[in-house]
Amino acid sequence: MAKTNPGRFFEDYSVGDVIKHAVPRTVSGGERALYHALYPARHALYSSDEFARAVGLPKAPLDDLAAFHIVFGKTVPDVSLNAVANLGYAEGRWHLPVYEGDTLRSESEVIGVKQNSNGKSGVVYVRTRGLNQNDDVVMDYVRWVMVRKGNLDAPAPETVIPELSKVIDPADLVIPAGLDFSKYDFDLAGETHRWGDYEIGETIDHVDGVTVEEAEHMLATRLWQNTAKVHFDSTARPDGTRLIYGGHVISMARALSFNGLANAQMIVGLNGGAHANPCLSGTTIRAWSEVLDKAETSAPGVGAIRLRLVATSGGDAFALKGEDGKYKPEVLLDLDYWALMPV
């Protein structure tokens, strides 16, 4: 009996299955420091315990995207080891900030399957939940991937395609308990622009760029215990390159967006996202944002802002798709998320 994990193939997923993913992880100040070393992250709420306390939290949480990467990383051996493509995200919500000492684990429920017409692969939809040591959900999101069939003779399952919201209703966003931006310190946060200063449709070029090295994206991807071999093994792809984990691009772009969105502090919703083109070492990642929507919240001084975050490898800011409707080759990421800002 082979002892190594071959991963699951398309025919191994059935709607209703719940997969308990392996390797829980306790986070410490080490993960926080590494996040700041890997990305130019400067949002004050995640950098300073004092700033976090001044807005009603017990101390600075782990960056929301670090929590996402940890939850996501655990799903890779069960969900995407034999994946051909990561197709999309939806209905992602952060329910609880993650603090030093918390232990995270993940589980995924299969909520949809659809075999492709070629009979060689299919699309699998999972809803993944990240749980802490108290079995509280810290975040959940839907992801769908295209997975190869292992046995081409396996019968096609009944097609189930889940109904997914294109955008999370702002009323469904979870505001962390106690969050209060009414005494927010804009000097310490780094910018004066508040929620009211942003207009729907406004675009922001985040100006700065970071050239990515192999060592960096591998350190990051290992830290999230993501084992997909294309990120680590230069012999795994015909061209000898290592594909950079898409989440590395998300975190890099989000950190770059500080310059212009320093007060978009907490990420609370992930409406959708596409890894438009692969990113390789040596790329200089840049970012721009577009304000897609705004909403009030019930928390004192806290507004919600819906942002498109686009990472590029250069080219003109604000150019997303060509005349053919496809992403321009320099677009790496098109992410749609909700963040919380002082009003």
Beta-strand relationship, 103-115 and 18-20 = antiparallel
**223: contact with its own copies by CB under 8 A:** yes
**38: contact with its own copies by CB under 8 A:** yes
Q: Which stretch binds its own copies (CB under 8 A): 85-93, 116-124, 141-149, 260-268?
A: 260-268
Q: Which residues pair with 82 in a beta bridge?
A: none
What six digits make up the tokens of 203? 């675009």
CB of 249 to its own copies, least distance (A): 15
Q: Of 302, 214, 224, 220, which is closest to residue 265 (Cα–Cα)?
A: 302
**18: contact with its own copies by CB under 8 A:** no
CB of 299 to its own copies, least distance (A): 22
Q: Answer yes or no: are the C-beta atoms of 316 and 148 closer than 8 Å.
A: no
What six digits make up the tokens of 232? 């680590």
Q: Give the nearer residue to its own copies in terms of CB position, either 115 or 128.
A: 128
CB of 68 to its own copies, least distance (A): 17
**268: contact with its own copies by CB under 8 A:** no
CA–CA separation, 71 and 141 (whole Å): 10
**22: contact with its own copies by CB under 8 A:** yes
**77: contact with its own copies by CB under 8 A:** yes
**150: contact with its own copies by CB under 8 A:** no
CB of 91 to its own copies, least distance (A): 25
Q: Give the nearer residue to its own copies in terms of CB position, either 90 or 204.
A: 204
- Is 316 strand, coil or helix? coil
Q: Which stretch binds its own copies (CB under 8 A): 83-91, 119-127, 232-240, 266-274?
A: 232-240
**244: contact with its own copies by CB under 8 A:** no
Q: Give the nearer residue to its own copies in terms of CB position, either 27 or 340.
A: 27
**326: contact with its own copies by CB under 8 A:** no
Q: Which of 17, 191, 290, 330 binds its own copies (CB under 8 A)?
A: 191
Q: Which of residues 95-134 bind its own copies (CB under 8 A)?
A: 100-101, 103, 105, 133
C-alpha distances (whole Å) from 22 to each of 18, 31, 94, 106, 130 are: 13, 19, 21, 8, 12
CB of 22 to its own copies, least distance (A): 3
Phi, psi of 259 (to 5 degrees): -75, 85
Residue with tokens 């050239």: 211
Q: Which of 260, 273, 301, 303 binds its own copies (CB under 8 A)?
A: 260
CB of 59 to its own copies, least distance (A): 8
Q: Which of 14, 159, 182, 284 binds its own copies (CB under 8 A)?
A: 284
Q: Answer yes or no: are the C-beta atoms of 150 and 97 closer than 8 Å.
A: no
Computed on alpha carbons and rounded to an integer, the radius of gyration of the chain in Å comes to 20
Q: Which residues pair with 318 in a beta bridge?
A: none
CA–CA separation, 165 and 202 (whole Å): 24
CB of 139 to its own copies, least distance (A): 18
CB of 54 to its own copies, least distance (A): 10
Sign (positive or negative) of CA dihedral 151, 5, 14, 114: negative
Q: Which stretch binds its own copies (CB under 8 A): 140-148, 224-232, 292-300, 332-340?
A: 224-232
Strands, E, within the chain: which ranges? Answer: 18-20, 25-26, 83-94, 103-115, 121-131, 137-148, 203-205, 210-211, 266-274, 284-296, 302-312, 331-342
Q: Which of residues 157-186 bind its own copies (CB under 8 A)?
A: none
Q: Which stretch binds its own copies (CB under 8 A): 154-162, 173-181, 203-211, 335-343?
A: 203-211
**36: contact with its own copies by CB under 8 A:** yes
**51: contact with its own copies by CB under 8 A:** yes
Q: Of 65, 51, 39, 73, which is closest to residue 337 (Cα–Cα)?
A: 65
